[in-house]
């Protein structure tokens, strides 16, 4: 890429980033949505979140997807709360679908930000120590590492997405591994949503079960890689 094209691309990246930041802070409807939605998530206010989503009427499904996407971009905001709220509002079938779509879009955006803007921007959100750990894991296990980490709900979604965006893993591979890997946790938490909100012991049991599945995937990683990701080489 010549110098002129490189400068043009840099200006485009900077302009889009400034435009997004400006919209978040100075466009009233966007700012209100982000501020109110993240407040309910930080407070773990299930009832408030439910009313907030339903207040958008026929746009409630889009709102829930947007909230799930938003939480993937904002540090320290738990996505499990939206998953449970979606199941309450739409039933576990549609609720899990909306949560799955929102989580995938969020993962796509995190990956894209890291891929397009590089490590300096990512380090503004994720600590260098965590990024170094993710780098080593992905260098060792490649695309299968994405699948395994998505199975384990205690591993931060954002750290994984940003970390993979800094590698040579393709968009297609990343989205397939993320889409498959995030499905068990979203479906399980959605099906058990009513009980999970009232019984933290059950939530712990489900999390341990998913951890066991993740460890199983790790130990069977070679076979899984052949089945899901490298089957074309057989």
What ranges do the domains of the chain cover? Answer: 3-233
Q: What is the pLDDT of residue 104?
A: 94
Q: What is the pLDDT of residue 208?
A: 66
User: Is a pLDDT exceeding 90 seen at residue 55?
Assistant: yes
CA angle (142, 82, 42) in 5-degree steps: 100
By mean pLDDT, which of 39-53, 62-76, 120-134 is the weakest? 120-134
* 3-class secondary structure per residue, 156-224: CHHHHHHHHHCCCCCHHHHHHHHHHHHHHHHHHHHHCHHHHHHCHHHHHHHHHHHHHHHHHHHHCHHHH
Alpha-carbon gap, residue 140 to 108, rounded angstroms: 22
User: Is a pLDDT exceeding 90 seen at residue 155?
Assistant: no
Mean pLDDT of 121-140: 77
Between residues 16 and 193, the one the model is more confident about: 16
The tokens for 209 are: 């079960």
Q: What is the pLDDT of residue 199?
A: 53
| Most confident by average pLDDT, 23-32, 115-124, 159-168 | 23-32
* C-alpha to C-alpha distances, 100 to 1, 20, 64, nearest whole angstrom: 38, 24, 11
User: Is a pLDDT exceeding 50 seen at residue 141?
Assistant: yes
Task: Confirm if 151 and 179 have CB atoms less than 8 A apart.
Answer: no
Between residues 232 and 108, the one the model is more confident about: 108
* C-alpha to C-alpha distances, 41 to 34, 45, 81, 123, 188, nearest whole angstrom: 11, 7, 7, 24, 20
- Candidates 211, 233, 212, 210; CA nearest to 222 is 233
The per-residue pLDDT for range 192-229, each reduced to its tens digit, is: 776 555 555 655 666 666 666 555 555 555 555 554 44
Percent of the chain with pLDDT over 70: 80
Q: What is the pLDDT of residue 62?
A: 95
Percent of the chain with pLDDT over 90: 20
Alpha-carbon gap, residue 204 to 184, rounded angstroms: 15
Res. 151 pLDDT band, cuts 50 70 90: confident
Longest dimension (CA), the chain: 60
Q: What is the pLDDT of residue 233?
A: 44
């Amino acid at each position: 890429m010549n110098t002129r094209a490189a400068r043009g691309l840099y200006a485009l990246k900077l302009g889009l980033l400034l435009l997004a930041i400006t919209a978040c802070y100075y466009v009233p409807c966007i700012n209100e949505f982000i501020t109110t939605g993240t407040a309910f998530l930080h407070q773990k206010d299930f009832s408030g979140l439910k009313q907030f989503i339903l207040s958008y009427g026929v746009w409630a499904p889009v709102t829930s997807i947007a909230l799930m996407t938003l939480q993937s971009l904002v540090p320290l905001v738990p996505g499990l709360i939206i998953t449970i709220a979606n199941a309450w509002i739409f039933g576990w079938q549609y609720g899990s679908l909306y949560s799955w779509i929102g989580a995938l879009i969020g993962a796509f955006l995190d990956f894209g930000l890291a891929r397009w803007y590089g490590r300096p921007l990512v380090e503004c959100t994720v600590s260098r120590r965590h990024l170094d750990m993710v780098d080593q894991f992905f260098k060792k296990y490649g695309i299968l590492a994405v699948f395994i980490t998505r199975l384990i709900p205690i591993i931060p979604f954002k750290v994984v997405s940003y970390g993979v965006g800094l590698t040579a893993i393709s968009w297609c591979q990343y989205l397939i591994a993320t889409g498959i890997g995030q499905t068990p946790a979203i479906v399980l938490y959605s099906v058990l949503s009513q009980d999970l909100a009232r019984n933290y012991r059950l939530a712990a049991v489900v999390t341990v079960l998913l951890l066991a599945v993740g460890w199983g995937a790790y130990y069977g990683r070679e076979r899984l890689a052949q089945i899901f990701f490298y089957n074309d080489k057989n």
